[in-house]
Structure 1
Amino acid sequence: MQSANIQLETLTCPSCLQKIEGAVSGLKGIDKDSLKVLFNASKVKVDFDGDVISIEEIEKAIEDLGYRVIKSRVKAA
């Protein structure tokens, strides 16, 4: 497992949080229990299986919703 900390552009509404949670939790290889979207910090924290999904695929799922990813940090969980 790997742990990702994804910094987003400022989130402006609580429904943004639900959209991001829904999109990321639906991806294969995501540890749904670890997923946290931090509204005030505009961050997504999640653990994922690097053999199943890449950080780029997670970022793309978020960006496809219209939220810009500023930077991501990945480390072994």
Structure 2
Amino acid sequence: MSEETIEVQGMTCKHCKASVEGALSGLDGVNKAEVNLDKNQVTVDFDDDKVTVQKMKDEIEDIGFEPK
């Protein structure tokens, strides 16, 4: 398992938090996704044999947020 913290712009509320966590948690290989709204970040525990950081960033972008 690996852990990655991704900066995400555009998250402002609990609904945003739930959207990002839900989208990432739905990816095969993601064990846990936890958003910190104060820091504009999501920390993801994942299996890097099943999912890439780029795939997670693409998923974040697909739901309307801007990963860095």
TM-score by length of 2: 0.91
Which fold has the larger relative contact order, with Cα–Cα distance below 8 Å and residues 6 or more apart in sequence? 1
| Equivalent residue number for residue 23 of structure 2 | 23
Q: What is the root-mean-square deviation of aligned Cα atoms in Å? A: 1.0
Task: Give the unaligned 5+ runs of structure 1.
Answer: 71-77
| 2:57 alignment partner, one of 15, 38, 59 | 59
Question: Residue 42 of structure 2 aligns with which residue?
Answer: 44
1:56 match: secondary structure: helix
Describe the superposition over 1:20-77 as per-residue Cα deviations: whole angstroms up to 9, x where unpaired: 0110011100113xx211111110001111110100000111010110012xxxxxxx
How many pairs align? 68
**Between structures 1 and 2, the one with greater strand share:** 1
TM-score (norm 1): 0.82
For structure 2, the 5+ residue unaligned runs are none
**Could you tell me the percent identity over the aligned residues?**
35
Which structure has the larger Rg?
1
Aligned-pair CA distance for 1:10:
4.2
